[in-house]
Amino acid sequence: MVESSPETSRQLGVEVRTMTAAAGSAGRILVPLLLCALLASSGAYVLDDSDGLGREFDGIGAVSGGGATSRLLVNYPEPYRSEILDFLFKPNFGASLHILKVEIGGDGQTTDGTEPSHMHYALDENYFRGYEWWLMKEAKKRNPHIILMGLPWSFPGWLGKGFNWPYVNTHLTAYYVVSWILGAKHYHELDIDYIGIWNERSFDTSYIKVLREMLDSQGLQRVKIIASDNLWEPISSSMLRDPQLSKVIDVIGAHYPGTRVSQRAKLTEKKLWSSEDFSTLNSDDGAGCWGRILNQNYVNGNMTSTIAWNLVASYYEELPFGRCGLMTAQEPWSGHYVVESPIWVSAHTTQFMQPGWYYLKTVGHLQKGGSYVALTDGLGNLTVIVETMSHKHSKCIRPFLPFYNVSAQLATFDLKGSFLLDSNGTFTLELQEDELFTLTTLTTGRKGSYPMPPKSQPFPHVYKDNFNVDYPFFSEAPNFADQTGVFEYYMNLEDPGEHRFTLRQVLNQRPITWAADASSPISILGDYQWTNLTISCDVYIETPEKGGVFIAGRVSKGGLLVRVARGVFFWIFANGLYRVTGDLGGWIIYSSGYVEVTAKKWYTLTLTIEGNVSSGKLNGKVLWENIHVKYPKNGWAAIGTRSFEFAQFDNFHVEVSH
């Protein structure tokens, strides 16, 4: 995909200023009409505000979460972490996003991991867990005008009262969500602008109304409600049938709409957003997808905001939807990151208009394929974005994209209305396939840059963590990626000795799930290509009789597929049993037996896997050996618990041999 060059010229009152991705540049910006013999002009496209303006532009954004997509970003060393944040949020530098949408952590697996809730239990409140608070503050630091959104994927189990359903008590769930908004303001000086209902799951009309009432009762009238972060239906029909429901919903948000909107959604006369889109590998073809939908979501569907899942691919690449972020930052141990081409496609829109601008009514498709939009701030500024993304190079991961053709063409634009500053308000572009042009009167955009980050490096072959952090800035230990359950730094007041600071699994009941969480909490770490390794960890079972813990190697699956994870799992249980299994579910049993183990006591587990053979030690003594493992050949290291129970881990150590 080619983007036009950073040359500028002034003609007809419009400055042409565009940005170049690493792919190269075009440089053909204005074409004399006398040289158009070979490319027949497709007629003129009028840009006119004489008949009023179109819809208000609400911004371009991205999602952190849904889930744990920013997990590895937080422990990047400086200056690289700040550089990544600048490429995402700094105005007139990189993606320059207008909107940041974050997951309201609910303790459940939500695609690539779990994110912790601010209320694990009914009487528990903590507004410093996870990393979304930090991320929102970093975004605001760079762009004080950035719009903040919150949306739950999963919910802590206590809200369901035994059911996997967040609407058992609508007032209680509304209280939980409003508490998150109030906590954002009280503890972090963050004003949440939009709040969602339940990501890609059922909505409850009475809950939406209760949520509005509770927001208003807490002085949060400025917080707008977006619903239902799923499809255009049935939310649009429900709003048309129920005027009270329609009154409390400010925006209809649909996911992966394919640039199309339902007729009933239009009839609501509400703002229409693509509130989650993209979700595509961040290659040049992914950038083509992003460039096409940023224009055509409005041209075809009158959608005034498009929000990408996800913000930055900061999770282990072998988890589901690897590298489906606007940029890639998945190596905090090396500092390596990649500013992928979707960043610069974003910049073509975000740097040359702001929320509050208006689309012209004169937007549309080009005769030989592609589209154009034009926006104004009402103060004389005009930005025009033209894209000619081909079918082959702009497929998004979903939905299916019907075939269409794009070919080389000349596009002549006629400026009318307030934009006609002299007698000849015409300009012509020579367009090839897979190009993106931005023409604007603004002079503020630029392609930001930093020195090259460090080279890519594999995860360290020797890794230790004793979790001895007195006042942790983040609640989770670096590089551990929770896939079921939540593992947090813990100060063990009962043990002033070497196990005073530990990592603890803190959920004591299954959350209201969004995905297929495993039955056993698990946190993974390391390099998916690891084959031969030794893992050791001190473990502490807190639950008598029924409790249990494990360490594991060659773990094959995580994210949405964590329930079917294979590997070598070494378990001990408070009832005096040990077990070696080939899967997290415990269906494939390699070995089992009795051992002197009880709750409330520290033990050291050691697991060694070499080739097709594995062995395990308890407190340094061989407990089992010569167990053959044919599959899988590689995978992550992991720790975990038998069920949703309290348990602690300390002195984690993994050593990889070649």
pLDDT score recorded for residue 658: 74
Rounded to whole angstroms, how far apart are CA atoms 556 and 631? 9
Helical packing angle, 341-350 and 284-301, nearest 10°: 30
Average pLDDT of the residues in 301-329: 98
pLDDT in tens, 25-51: 333 444 443 333 344 454 699 999 999
Q: For the chain, what is the mean pLDDT?
A: 93
Per the annotation, the verdict on 56 as an active-site residue is no
Share of the chain above pLDDT 70, in %: 93
pLDDT in tens, 353-408: 999 999 999 999 999 999 999 999 999 999 999 999 999 999 999 999 999 999 99
DSSP 568-584: EEEEEETTSEEEEEEET
Tell me if 393 sits within 8 A of 284, measured CB to CB. yes
The CA-to-CA distance between both ends of the chain, in Å, stands at 40
Least confident of 112-116, 183-187, 489-493, 610-614: 489-493
pLDDT score recorded for residue 18: 38
Among residues 132, 138, 276, 331, the one annotated as catalytic is 276
Over 90: is that where the pLDDT of 426 sits?
yes
Task: Cis check for the bond before 399: say yes or no (omega within 30 of 0).
Answer: yes
pTM given for the model: 0.95
Average pLDDT of the residues in 194-212: 98
Q: For residue 167, give both structure tokens.
A: 């609407």
Among residues 15, 56, 200, 542, the one annotated as catalytic is 200
pLDDT-derived band at 520, boundaries 50, 70, 90: very high
User: How many other β-carbons are positioned within 10 Å of the β-carbon of residue 164?
Assistant: 15
Average pLDDT of the residues in 469-495: 95
Per the annotation, the verdict on 276 as an active-site residue is yes
Over 80: is that where the pLDDT of 554 sits?
yes
Angle at 310 between CA 142 and CA 453, to 5 degrees: 60
Q: Which residues are CB-contacts of 262 (< 8 A; sequence separation ≥ 6)?
A: 232, 233, 236
Task: Encode burial over 124-149: b for 16+ CB neighbours within 10 A, e otherwise.
Answer: eeebebbbbbbbbebbbebbeebbbb
User: How many other β-carbons are positioned within 10 Å of the β-carbon of residue 635?
Assistant: 27
pLDDT in tens, 441-467: 999 999 999 999 999 999 999 999 999
Average pLDDT of the residues in 612-634: 97
Rounded to whole angstroms, how far apart are CA atoms 205 and 20? 46
pLDDT score recorded for residue 155: 98
Q: Closest by alpha carbon to 389, among 259, 232, 231, 260?
A: 259
* 210 φ, ψ (degrees, to nearest 5): -65, -40
Average pLDDT of the residues in 523-545: 98
Rounded to whole angstroms, how far apart are CA atoms 304 and 56? 7
Rounded to whole angstroms, how far apart are CA atoms 603 and 597? 8
- β-partners of residue 7 are none
Q: Which residues are CB-contacts of 331 (< 8 A; sequence separation ≥ 6)?
A: 72, 337, 456, 457
